[in-house]
Chains A and B, each alone.
Chain A
Amino acid sequence: MSTVFSDTLQELRKASGFSTAYRFFHDNGGQAALGFTYRQYMLMESGVLPEAGKLGRLIPALRLIPLTPPANRLVTAWLRTRAGEAVYDQLVAPILPAKTKDAQQAPMHGLVRAMMRERVYYLTHEQFEASLADYPTYICYTAITADTGLWTAASLAEALDLKKGEVEAALKRLASVGIAKKVKQGVYRCPFSDRMIQCPQLNTVSPELLKKVNEYITRLAASAETRLREGFFVRADRHQFMGHFPPLLRFAIEASYGYTVREKSPSTAIFYAEGRIVQVRDF
């Protein structure tokens, strides 16, 4: 029997681009990453309410940011189902400050997200791990997933200023998990480089991988030539600010996807965009 929670869960799962429960479960790393079985997940979508602790796994897997309106919707749906409609409306709802409407989201935001949803490719945990085998592999991964052309170890090594041997090993490794496809002897291309690639949620990967991905991104970004760095301090209400600004900032960074070109020209380059929010002092 479907409940407010199971309906909301399904709706949010589809909205983040996972067309089936199966895709959602496996693209998020399955039981190892989520901490529950596929059967248990199916039951959640069919109306069995999970214990509250599972929400902490579901929210990131649905690619939602905690405390934002869509994440709050899942939490309130859980409460509503747990408490029952009448109790919820009379007792629970009045004491909840959580805002669950996307009132402040610009229409463009929704549109662009919908457009992106069609184009998303969710990297599997296995592919993610292979891309992080070592630093040269990570650089090769970043380059070939951004380009629809054909590459040999020699041409990629020259473009990326890496050793040919390193690139050869990297391409083989990437080919073994389907990130690169061998077109003919020694020639590779990425089969999904025309799509927007999303890594697994970082709280579902092992601490070692997390350390590596942070190290490699930081290292590659540090080697980049800064074109813009704009930073400022702002004093705001913690809940209000953290509920509304992070999705906007994430959107602004993801919007760089809209400027992507897949073919090389004399003026193309790989760029790095980053947005961050630091809570400096309670004041």
Chain B
Amino acid sequence: MKTQFSDTLKKLREEAGYQTAYKFYHGCGGQAALGITYRRYLLLEQGDCPEGGLLLKLLPFLGPVPLSRQSNGLITAWMRTVVGEETYAAVIAPLVSVAAGGTHPATAADGQGIMKQERRRLSLQQIEAVLADYDTFVCFTALGADTGVWTPDELSGPLQLSPACAKKALQRLAKAGVLAKEGSDGYKSGSPQWQTGLRREALDEKLLRKLEAYTSKLADSGRLRHRTRNFFRAEAGEAMNGYMPLLLQSLAMAQGSGVTARTGNTALFYVEGRLAKVRDL
């Protein structure tokens, strides 16, 4: 029997570019990534309601950013299914700050225009290949969303890697299907649409630690171009539910400047936002 949840899940899966449940399940990395069998996933689309923990595993493959229309849609659909329409409308809806399937008020524009170009997400196995070592991570970060063909020699200069290391990394990425071989020594992105930002929620402890270490290493090897910092005193709820979406949305705007081909003026930038609680006061 169809439910709010199963309908929404199916719709978001299709919107994310997976035509069939089968492609979605295996595209995410199957049981290793989602922790459920294909049969169990099918049941979800047919009306079975999952426990909350499974939402956390599904969301990274369905929505571009936390608090996006997609995540909000799936979460509200899940709550409606779990508690029933009537109870939801009477008790829960008034507490929820987003309309079902809508955006958080603070992210009304949602960066959707900018994020509209569809991004393909890596499967868990591909993520493992990308995070195999630092050099591979650097090559993927640069080439994932690039339209050119590169040999290890050509790539080693701009990325500051030795040709041998670049070659090894490119081979590894090609083997995982992230890059495609072109001619005898050239490589190009398997899809210039790769989502190069890996969503943390999809990763286990070990991969997460690697992602964080490699990201910091690459970011710290660059030149600081701009930094703004501010201490402010606020209600904890307001800071998290009011300010945080605004910060996230502003960060997402950087992706609107993304380009996929090299010119004499292009550079790889790292953009970061951080929000932290200093003291209760």
Contact = CB atoms under 8 A, between A and B. Distances in A.
Contacts of A277: 224-227, 269-271
A271 B259 contact: no
B233 A269 contact: yes
Interface in A190-234: 217, 220-221, 223-234
B281 A274 contact: no
Given A232-B255, A271-B275, A257 B224 contact: no
Contacts of A279: 222-223, 225, 267-269
A147 B233 contact: yes
Contacts of B82: none
A253 interface: yes
Interface in A250-283: 250-262, 264-265, 267-283
A49 B195 CA distance: 50
A230 B244 CA distance: 11
Interface in B216-250: 218-240, 242-244, 246-248, 250
Given A233-B268, A270-B281, A278-B219, A228 B225 contact: no
A256 B263 CA distance: 36
A269 B234 contact: yes
Interface residues of A, number: 68
Interface in A108-152: 142-143, 146-147
A268 B234 contact: yes
A23 interface: no
Contacts of A257: 230, 232
A276 B181 CA distance: 36
A147 B281 contact: yes
A267 B222 contact: no
A239 B224 CA distance: 15
Contacts of A221: 229, 274, 276, 278
Contact of B275 (A161, A264, A272): A272
A270 B234 CA distance: 6
Contact of B233 (A232, A261, A278): A261
Contacts of A283: 142, 158-159, 262, 266-268
Nearest to A252: B250
Contacts of A249: 226, 228, 250-251, 254, 271, 273
Contact of B247 (A161, A261, A273): A273
Q: Size band of the B side of the interface?
A: 35 or more
Contacts of B235: 259, 261, 265, 267-268
Contacts of A143: 279, 281
B205 interface: no
Q: Which 9 A-B pairs have the closest CB atoms?
A: A252-B250, A231-B272, A224-B276, A280-B222, A146-B233, A232-B197, A278-B222, A236-B257, A253-B228
A52 interface: no
B145 interface: yes
A226 B141 CA distance: 25
Interface of A: 65, 142-143, 146-147, 159-161, 217, 220-221, 223-242, 244-246, 248-262, 264-265, 267-283
Given A238-B266, A268-B234, A250 B273 contact: no
Nearest to A239: B265
A160 B257 contact: no
A144 B181 CA distance: 61
Contact of A270 (B220, B246, B267, B278): B278
B274 A229 contact: yes
Given A228-B244, A235-B269, A272 B230 contact: yes
20 contacts: A146-B232, A221-B229, A221-B278, A226-B275, A227-B239, A234-B255, A235-B145, A236-B259, A238-B267, A241-B257, A245-B226, A253-B230, A253-B273, A272-B277, A273-B247, A274-B230, A274-B274, A275-B228, A276-B228, A279-B268
Contact of A233 (B240, B244, B262, B269): B269
Nearest to B224: A278
Interface-central residue, B222, B233, B267, B269, by most chain A CB under 10 Å: B233
Interface in B88-139: none
Interface in B32-80: none
